[in-house]
Every structure is written in structure tokens, then in C-alpha cells.
Amino acid sequence: MEISVIGAGYVGLITAAGLAEKGHNVLVIDIQKEKVDMINAGKSPLYEEGLEEILRKNSGKRLKATTDGEKSILDTDVTFICVQTPADFEGAVDLRPIKRVAENVGKTLKKKKTYHVVVVKSTVPPSTTEKTVTPILEENSGKKAGRDFGVVMSPEFLREGIAIKDFLNPDRVIIGATEEKAYKTVEEIYRGFNCPIYRTDPRTAEMIKYASNIFLATKISFINDIGNICKKLDIDTYKVAEGLSMDKRISPHFLNAGLGWGGSCFPKDIRGLVHKAKELGYEPKLVDGVIKINEEQPKIMVRLGKKRLGTLEGKKAAVLGLAFKPNTDDIRDSQALPVIEYLLKEDACVVVYDPKAMENAKKTINGRITFAKTAQEALKDADIAFITTAWEEFRELDYSGMKKPIIVDGRNLLRHRKDIIYEGLCW
Ligand code: UDX
């Protein structure tokens, strides 16, 4: 099928590359000329495992990048909208980028002679596709949705680091539409995928995305809440999780207790839905609690360090890990950031290290912290170390360069070590 994808950001580029890999002809549209040139040269403007390989293989053949949105929409049958939906200062989802895109797509649809399907992939609050995107498309095209063109909401469930794999082997594809022709067109795109396709309406599809992320974050906050109680009772939370997850109704995934969740999706989406619910006059108590537990974990970590040393004032504290999870350089809403903030509030001398995220951290973190070149440099003469990201390499580090190897482990990496003074965060 001939497909255009608007936005060569994370979701757009993975979607475009994945669809090309599955045999479709894809045009990916972006306003940044440098990005477009890179993609056409088979290079990835962002790091994601396996992405560059797919770009190299498909660029110039089934995958082309362009700045010409209008021509791309006219030349294709389906357009995926993959623009960002950032949070505004109140936590609400900023819909301006998607509204601008819908306006332009609508204007192009006015010139189009044949049926076209617009697929919203960006994460948007429930009812946005029907109440905001569709009216803008209709107004600017002078056409009727459901008759002259189709509108579909199909959320993404890509995890950073394994997004290509997630795209090519999804657990399910959700197709939220209102008419048969639109369902059929998008189902045709996913014909080569080995997974269930779930038909629903657009606002249910939008809610499925939020509910999925919130459910996963809830599992993590749940096990952290249980873990905080376990710690006080001298019970190993990981053993509790193991026993718990033997119940088939529970599943072992996302039950790793520790410092909690961060990243570009969970925090933004969870706050976005809370904001929407409150706007509608509903207080989502469970979800509020999920956020509160997550905000507490970095405080608990610093408190444990303070208890160990008596005071953190003037103490050298090594923070190992800045990325929100391993195998990425992404520090957006990383739980390491509040740990650093609280350590600074305690007047500790903070030294940080991360195998991949140092450059991003230097651009973002202001304050009296030192950026070490290696983990060993961060640990040298440190009074205490905090493990904040689950990088595999931290498991086998040499901690003997510290004054005393006191480690507060927020990611369950070091409990096997006999040569350190160990403190698990909530186990
Ligand atoms: C997430 C969703 O998994 C994905 O489906 C969605 O589309 C985007 O958001 P991602 O942000 O890449 O993906 O990260 P994920 O691997 O889900 O981890 C999120 C956070 O939870 C990380 O900070 C991670 O460290 C933390 N986490 C995860 C835990 O603390 N414990 C766990 O058991 C699992």
C-alpha cells in the first residue's frame, strides 16, 4: 500500500521504517530538512536499536523522506499522523501540533479525488479524534468523514530500545474507526503481521492507550508500595513478586520493584489522563496514588543514604545512572533526576555517571554536580553510591575505590555482591 507518515520523530520514524520493512511504500514527511536528508541517506536521526539497519535497507527504495506534505498525501492512500503531543505546564495534553497538522491534511484532502484514510497514531486524550481532529479535517477539506475519507485512531505501544521489535511483532493492533471501509483499509496494512487486530471506535482506542500505560505504571507503583512495607518487615519483595506472579491472572512483567517509572510516555500520559478526568469533574484516586508512590521512591532512596551516613552534607555521593531505563540515552522524567535534586538539597557533593546519557544530562541538569568520565571516576573516594538505572555494567563494577562501599541499590542489581555494604531500596 502507498502510505505517508507525518512526523519523523520517534513514533513516526519507527512506524515509517517498520511499514517499509513489511513491504509498503512509505513517504515520511518532516519539516526539518536535515532529518529528511539523513533518512534519505539511510542514516537515523535518533538512536534506536535496529533502526539504522532498516533505514539503510529501505531508504531510496520503499522508504523516502520529504518536506513536501501535500504531494505525499496526494500520492498515497493512507496518512499516519505521528506528531508529538507534549504536556503543557498544567499537565494537560497540548493539542496545537496535531491541530495544525489536521488543518494541513484537510486542505490537501480538498484537492484529492480519491478516498483517503487518516490514521491518528499520536497519543491523544479520549474523544480528540472524533471531536477535534475529524471536525478540522472536514472543515478544511469541505468533505464528509466516513463518506469521502476515513478517520482511524490506532495507538502505538512501542518501548524505547525495543521499538522495532515491538512494531514488527505487536501483541495487538488496535483500530478505532467508525466505518467499514476505513477498518478494511488499515487492516490491509497490517495483513502481514502475526497478531490479533482489535476493532473498536476511536475514543475507545484512545482510552486503550492511556489505560495500558497507566495499568503498567500501576503494577510498578503497586509492587513499590508493597516493597516499602516489605522493607520494614525484612521481607524480600522480589520473592513476594515471584510468588505473586505464579498466579496466571497476574503475570510477572512490570513487577520489578525499585526507584519507579519515568520516560517520555508514562509520566506524560498518566498526568494527561488525570488532568482530563479532573476537567470532567472526576478525581481518579487510584491513579493519583500511583503518581504519589512514584514521587516518593526517590525520597526514600535519599533518606536511606542519609540514615546510613548520619548526614549527607559534604559527603561525596555517586549517582550511577541518568537514563530513565537502561539501553537508552533518554533522561526525560528519569527518576535519577529527583534523586540528584534531593541529594543537592542535603548539600551532598554529587558526582554522576551514565554509559549513554551524559550528553543529554549536561544539556539538562543545572546545579552543582560533577560529570564523571567513567563509573570508576564517579566512585573514587565516594562516601556512598546510588544505583538509579539498571545498566548491566553496574553489576560487575569495582566498588573498592570508594571510601567505604556503601551502595543504595534502586534497581536490584547488586544484591549478589559480598564485597559491598548493601541497601536495597524496597527489599
Ligand atoms: C512505555 C510502554 O511500555 C510502551 O508500551 C508505551 O508505548 C511507551 O511507554 P517506555 O517508556 O519505553 O515504554 O519504557 P518501559 O520499558 O515501559 O519502562 C518505563 C519505566 O518503568 C522505566 O523507567 C523503567 O525503569 C520502569 N520499570 C519498568 C520499573 O520500574 N519496573 C518494571 O518492572 C518495569
User: Ligand 1: which of 154, 265, 271, 322 to mutate, most ligand atoms within 8 Å of CB?
Assistant: 265
Distance 260 CA to ligand 1 centre (A): 9
pLDDT band at residue 304, thresholds of 50, 70 and 90? very high
pLDDT at 366 over 90: no
DSSP 3-state of 118: strand
Q: Determine the atom of ligand 1 nearest the C-alpha atom of 212.
A: 5
Long-range contacts of 30-33 (CB under 8 A, 24+ apart): 30/65, 30/67, 31/67, 32/8, 33/67
Q: Determine the atom of ligand 1 nearest the C-alpha atom of 263.
A: 11
Distance 334 CA to ligand 1 centre (A): 11
pLDDT at 147 over 90: yes
Nearest CA to ligand 1 atom 27: 261
Nearest CA to ligand 1 atom 2: 159
User: Ligand 1: which of 254, 325, 339 to mutate, most ligand atoms within 8 Å of CB?
Assistant: 325
Q: Determine the atom of ligand 1 nearest the C-alpha atom of 156.
A: 7
- Phi/psi of residue 316, each to 5°? -80, 115
pLDDT at 358 over 90: yes
**Which grid cell is 133?**
481532529
User: Ligand 1: which of 85, 216, 394 to mutate, most ligand atoms within 8 Å of CB?
Assistant: 216
Residues 287, 131: Cα–Cα separation, whole Å: 25
Q: Determine the atom of ligand 1 nearest the C-alpha atom of 256.
A: 33
Residues 261, 241: Cα–Cα separation, whole Å: 17
Q: What is the pLDDT of residues 97-146, one digit of tens each?
A: 999 999 999 999 999 999 999 999 999 999 999 999 999 999 999 999 99
353 lines ligand 1 (CB under 6 A): no
Residues 389, 413: Cα–Cα separation, whole Å: 9
pLDDT of residue 258: 98
56 lines ligand 1 (CB under 6 A): no
Q: Determine the atom of ligand 1 nearest the C-alpha atom of 257.
A: 31
Task: Quote the distance between the C-alpha of residue 177 and its chain's center.
Answer: 25
Distance 26 CA to ligand 1 centre (A): 29
Task: Quote the distance between the C-alpha of residue 193 and its chain's center.
Answer: 23
Distance 39 CA to ligand 1 centre (A): 27
Residue among 175, 182, 100, 194 at smallest CA distance from 140:
100
The 10 Å Cβ neighbour count of residue 88 is 12
pLDDT of residue 215: 98
The 10 Å Cβ neighbour count of residue 285 is 8
Helix (H) / strand (E) containing 199: strand 197-200
DSSP secondary structure code for residue 81 in this structure: E
Residue among 423, 416, 355 at smallest CA distance from 385:
423
Distance 120 CA to ligand 1 centre (A): 22
261 lines ligand 1 (CB under 6 A): yes
> What mean pLDDT is reported for the chain?
97
User: Ligand 1: which of 82, 238, 261 to mutate, most ligand atoms within 8 Å of CB?
Assistant: 261
Distance 117 CA to ligand 1 centre (A): 31
Instruction: Kindly state the percentage of the chain with pLDDT values over 90.
Output: 97
Which alpha helices (H) appear in 150-284, and where do they start and end? 163-168, 180-189, 202-233, 237-245, 266-279
The residues, ordered by sequence, that sit 6+ positions from 315 with a Cβ below 8 Å of its Cβ are: 309, 348, 349, 383, 384
Q: Determine the atom of ligand 1 nearest the C-alpha atom of 253.
A: 33
Distance 261 CA to ligand 1 centre (A): 6
pLDDT band at residue 47, thresholds of 50, 70 and 90? confident
The 10 Å Cβ neighbour count of residue 191 is 10
Whole-angstrom CA distances from 304 to 22, 232, 301, 384, 408 are 50, 12, 5, 11, 7
Instruction: Kindly state the percentage of the chain with pLDDT values over 70.
Output: 100
**Which grid cell is 24?**
509498503
Residues 404, 423: Cα–Cα separation, whole Å: 13
The predicted model gives 65-82 an average pLDDT of: 98
The predicted model gives 292-307 an average pLDDT of: 98
**Which grid cell is 80?**
499516519
Domain annotation for the chain: domains and CATH numbers = 2-202 (3.40.50.720), 290-424 (3.40.50.720)
Q: Which of 230, 265, 349, 426 is catalytic?
A: 265
Single-letter amino acid, residue 251: S
Helix axes 285-309, 336-345, angle to 10 degrees: 50
Nearest CA to ligand 1 atom 28: 254
User: Is residue 230 flagged as an active site residue?
Assistant: no
Whole-angstrom CA distances from 334 to 63, 89, 386 are 33, 18, 14
Distance 159 CA to ligand 1 centre (A): 7
Q: What is the pLDDT of residues 177-216, one digit of tens each?
A: 999 999 999 999 999 999 999 999 999 999 999 999 999 9
388 in Cβ contact with 319 (< 8 Å):
yes
